[in-house]
Amino acid sequence: MLIISKSEAFYTKALFFLFGLGSMMIAPRTPDIKANLHVNNGTLGTLISLTAIGSFTAFMYMGQIVHLFGVRKVLTIVATTLFLAMGLQPHIHTPWIFALNQVVSGASWAGFHICANTQALHRQKLSGIPILPKLHGTWTAGALSTAVIAVGITSHVSLAKHIDIGVTLVWLATLFVAYKLRGVLLAGSREHADEESKASVKSILIYLREEWIIVIAISMGIMLEMSTNDWASLFTKEDIKASSSLSILPYIAFGAGMVLARFNLHTLYKSFTERQLIRTTAIFGGVTFMIGIQVASHIAPRHHTAGLIVAISAYFCGGLGSSFMSPGITTIATRNSRFPSSFVVAQMALVNTTLFFTAKIAISWVAQATSITTALMIPGVIFLLTSSFAKLGSDTLHPTE
Portion of the chain with pLDDT greater than 70, in percent: 92
Q: Report which of residues 52 and 165 the model is more confident about.
A: 165
CATH class as words, domain 8-392: mainly alpha
* pLDDT for 189: 66
List, for residues 55-102, the tens digit of each pLDDT value.
877 777 777 788 788 889 999 999 999 999 999 999 999 999 999 999
Q: How far apart are CA 101 and CA 246, in angstroms?
A: 28
Residue closest to 367 by CA, chosen among 302, 297, 317, 309: 297
Q: Domain locations in the chain? A: 8-392
Q: How are the residues of the chain apportioned to helix, strand and coil, as percentages rounded to the nearest 5?
A: 80, 0, 20
pTM of the model: 0.76
250 contacts 369 by C-beta, under 8 angstroms = no
Q: Torsion angle of alpha carbons 377, 214, 355, 40, nearest 10°?
A: 30
Q: How far apart are CA 309 and CA 190, in angstroms?
A: 54
Q: How far apart are CA 350 and CA 205, in angstroms?
A: 12
Q: From the CB of residue 307, how many other CB atoms can be counted at a distance below 10 Å? A: 22
Is residue 202 very low, low, confident or very high in pLDDT (cuts 50, 70, 90)? low
* pLDDT for 325: 87
Q: How far apart are CA 216 and CA 213, in angstroms?
A: 5
* pLDDT for 37: 93
Q: Report which of residues 379 and 352 the model is more confident about.
A: 379
Over residues 289-299, mean pLDDT: 96
Mean pLDDT of the chain: 86
Which letter does DSSP use for residue 324 in this model? Answer: T
Over residues 183-205, mean pLDDT: 63
DSSP letters along 310-324, please? Answer: HHHHHHHHHHHHHTT
Q: Which of 13-27, 252-266, 361-375 has the lowest mean pLDDT?
A: 252-266
Residue 113 has pLDDT above 50, yes or no: yes
Which of the given ranges, 226-240, 253-267, 294-308, has the highest pLDDT on average? 294-308
Which letter does DSSP use for residue 188 in this model? Answer: P
Q: Report which of residues 56 and 119 the model is more confident about.
A: 119
Which of the given ranges, 147-151, 183-187, 284-288, has the highest pLDDT on average? 284-288
- Please give the angle made by the CA atoms of 26, 356 and 136, to the nearest 5 degrees: 60
Residue 195 has pLDDT above 50, yes or no: no
91 contacts 43 by C-beta, under 8 angstroms = no
Over residues 212-236, mean pLDDT: 87
Q: How far apart are CA 339 and CA 207, in angstroms?
A: 8
List, for residues 31-48, the tens digit of each pLDDT value.
889 999 999 988 998 898
* pLDDT for 93: 94
Q: Letter for the amino acid at 127?
A: S
Any alpha helices (H) in 38-158, and if so which ranges? Answer: 41-49, 51-69, 71-88, 95-127, 132-153
Which letter does DSSP use for residue 182 in this model? Answer: T
Residue closest to 385 by CA, chosen among 220, 219, 228: 220
Residue 199 has pLDDT above 70, yes or no: no
Q: Give me the half-sphere count of Cα atoms (radius 13 Å) on the Cβ side of residue 243.
A: 8
* pLDDT for 95: 94
Q: Angle formed by the axes of helices 223-238 and 341-369, to 10°?
A: 30
List, for residues 311-350, the tens digit of each pLDDT value.
999 999 999 999 888 888 888 887 777 776 666 776 777 7
Residue 229 has pLDDT above 50, yes or no: yes
